[in-house]
């Protein structure tokens, strides 16, 4: 590794010589520590930090900050190893012409481990991103704190966490996991808005497999403990997972195109070419009228949004609810939708947490919310109750009630009980509420309601089953017909499903200038 730049004897007096030395030093910094280190990185199937930045940013747009920074630590041989960049590349560039700040760990230098100088560079670029009001992307591939620097390295993480929190809801923060991330370092991605991971090469965990084995006796691999699939499907830490770095970074660029620069702006609007007045005749065929029959809500979303394109967040975690970013007439919207294909679309602990955080993110960055309801209620069960379904369900309720962006809800089929209220009903502040003619809004399903209300009549009847069937039919006719809610002003209109896209676009256009105020307060105290 480079210890110090070698200056020519004429350098002190010859400006041209000094410039030549500068170019030589920069070349050393760009090249990295050695060909061997680069080869080792490629052998793991990983790109170098600079290659990753080139993929993320528009060609030729990267401006590096503190390229020549080196650590000042001594002891344990560090004084003889003082490479340029100190293992992290920081700077800014553009993505589709818009400014984005970035830092990338260089695993070839100290394994990407964080030392004092390394941390100071990250602190500076984070401060610059906050001051400029532009997104921050971290390309993570580091071995944690630099042990040789002791507590100074740990303090560096504290500074990162504090800035992550300060930037939360102010600028979009995206963490891209492209290698290991262990111990306290994992908390920085957890504080950001989105976490991307690459299968096989990226892992996140607080305590590694060796510690787990020593403490609990369990044997597990790094990927089995904290790989991309684990965090995408089980823990919910990872929002999006991909098979290779190129695809992953390309999708980061796509996500950035759907987000504003900061909380004072709106997402960029584009002309997609999909007509705003396009009717969606297929919707009637996609959604069965029979409330007990499952269907794929993703196909409904495809039919509604521009060109059928959207980005689903947390696609493989809590699959009974869909959270996605898409466009309607070129305007970015956040879509929250029950998924009848999984657990009949019920709300449970994980679905509530997933949707709550997504709603909060959309509200923070001025993204209107469209909620598609087909929900039979909250998932019953001892595990759910003991796991705190009340507390977790309240997170989603709190997120919706606190949101000030335009909010439109649409009831496709059934909307029962507390889940109907929680899923952005008119009573908690939805600006506009629509329903299809197939909708059923009620405290519970007709069968359950009839069994409760007419329990005595059914028990005393000569033919209890016939009486039950008659009472169910009567309950449906009286309280669950499609226009019951509209007659009482609980929905603004019952619409033709084929007009769904048109109605949503016109409603969003009207709400574009919505301005709402929350009560003056330091901050709320949301359920945890």
Q: Which residues of 143-160 are buried (b: 16+ CB within 10 A; e: fewer)?
A: bbbbebbeebbbebbeeb
Q: Which of 17, 208, 418, 448 is catalytic?
A: 418
Q: Is 465 left (phi over 0), alpha (psi -120 to 50) or beta?
A: alpha
Please state, in angstroms and rounded to a whole number, the distance separating the CA atoms of residues 54 and 468: 68
- Kindly tell me the sign of the dihedral angle through the C-alpha atoms of 70, 71, 72, 73: negative
What does the block give as tokens for 131? 């001051």
Distances (CA, A) of 275 to 217, 269, 271, 337: 60, 15, 10, 23
The DSSP bridge pattern shows strands 180-182 and 173-177 to be unpaired
Residues in CB range of 434: below 8 A, 6 or more apart: 408, 409, 410, 411, 491, 492, 493, 494, 495, 500, 503
Residue 142 designated active-site = no
Please state, in angstroms and rounded to a whole number, the distance separating the CA atoms of residues 316 and 232: 6
| DSSP letters spanning 192-255 | SSEEEEETTT-EEESS-HHHHHHHH-----HHHHHBHHHIIIII---SEEESSHHHHHHHHHHH
Residue 183 designated active-site = yes
Please state, in angstroms and rounded to a whole number, the distance separating the CA atoms of residues 348 and 335: 18
Residue 208 designated active-site = no
Q: 378: which DSSP letter?
A: B
Please name the helix (run of DSSP H) or strand (run of DSSP E) that holds residue 422, with its range, or none. helix 417-422
Q: Which of 11, 184, 236, 417 is catalytic?
A: 184
Q: Which of 419, 442, 446, 450 is catalytic?
A: 419
Report the catalytic residues: 183-184, 418-419
């Amino acid at each position: 590794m480079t210890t110090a730049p070698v200056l020519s004897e004429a350098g002190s007096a010859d400006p041209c010589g000094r410039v030549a030395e500068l170019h030589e030093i920069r070349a050393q910094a760009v090249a990295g520590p050695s060909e061997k280190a680069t080869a080792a990185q490629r052998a793991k199937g990983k790109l170098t930090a600079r290659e990753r930045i080139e993929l993320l940013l528009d060609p030729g747009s990267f401006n590096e900050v503190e390229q020549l920074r080196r650590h000042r630590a001594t002891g344990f041989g560090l004084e003889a190893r003082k490479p340029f960049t100190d293992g992290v590349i920081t700077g800014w560039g553009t993505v589709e012409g818009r400014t984005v700040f970035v830092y990338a760990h260089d695993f070839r230098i100290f394994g990407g481990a964080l030392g004092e100088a390394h941390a100071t560079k990250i602190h500076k670029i984070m401060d610059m991103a906050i001051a400029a009001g532009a997104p921050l992307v971290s390309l993570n591939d580091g071995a944690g704190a630099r042990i040789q620097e002791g507590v100074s390295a740990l303090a560096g993480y504290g500074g990162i966490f504090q800035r992550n929190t300060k930037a939360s809801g102010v600028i979009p923060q995206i963490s891209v996991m492209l290698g290991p991330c262990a111990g306290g370092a994992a908390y920085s991605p957890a504080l950001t808005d989105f976490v991307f991971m690459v299968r096989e090469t990226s892992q996140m965990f607080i305590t590694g497999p060796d510690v787990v084995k020593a403490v609990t006796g369990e044997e597990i691999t790094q990927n089995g403990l904290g790989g991309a699939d684990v965090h995408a499907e089980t823990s919910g830490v990872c929002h999006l997972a991909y098979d290779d770095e190129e695809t992953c970074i390309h999708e980061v660029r796509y996500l950035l195109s759907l987000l504003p620069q900061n909380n004072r702006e709106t997402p960029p609007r584009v002309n997609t070419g999909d007509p705003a007045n396009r009717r969606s005749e297929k919707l009637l065929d996609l959604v069965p009228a029979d409330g007990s029959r499952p269907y794929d809500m993703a196909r409904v979303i495809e039919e509604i949004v521009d060109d059928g394109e959207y980005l689903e967040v947390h696609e493989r975690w809590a699959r009974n609810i869909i959270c996605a970013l898409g466009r309607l007439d070129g305007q970015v919207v956040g879509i929250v939708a029950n998924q009848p294909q999984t657990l009949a679309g019920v709300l449970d602990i994980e679905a509530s947490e997933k949707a709550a955080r997504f709603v909060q993110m959309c509200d923070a960055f001025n993204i209107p919310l469209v909620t598609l309801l087909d929900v039979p209620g909250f998932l019953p069960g001892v595990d759910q109750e003991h796991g705190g379904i009340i507390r977790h369900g309240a997170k989603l309720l709190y997120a919706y009630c606190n949101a000030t962006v335009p909010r439109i809800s649409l009831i496709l089929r059934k909307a029962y009980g507390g889940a109907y209220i929680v899923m952005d009903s008119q009573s908690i502040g939805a600006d506009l509420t629509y329903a299809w003619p197939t909708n059923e809004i009620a405290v519970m399903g007709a069968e359950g309601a009839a069994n409760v209300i007419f329990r005595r009549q059914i028990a005393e009847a000569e033919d209890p089953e016939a009486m039950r069937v008659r009472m169910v039919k009567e309950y449906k006719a009286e309280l669950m017909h499609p226009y019951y809610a509209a007659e009482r002003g609980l929905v603004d209109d019952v619409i033709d499903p084929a007009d769904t896209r048109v109605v949503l676009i016109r409603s969003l256009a009207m709400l574009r200038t919505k301005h709402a105020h929350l009560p003056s307060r330091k901050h709320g105290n949301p359920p945890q």
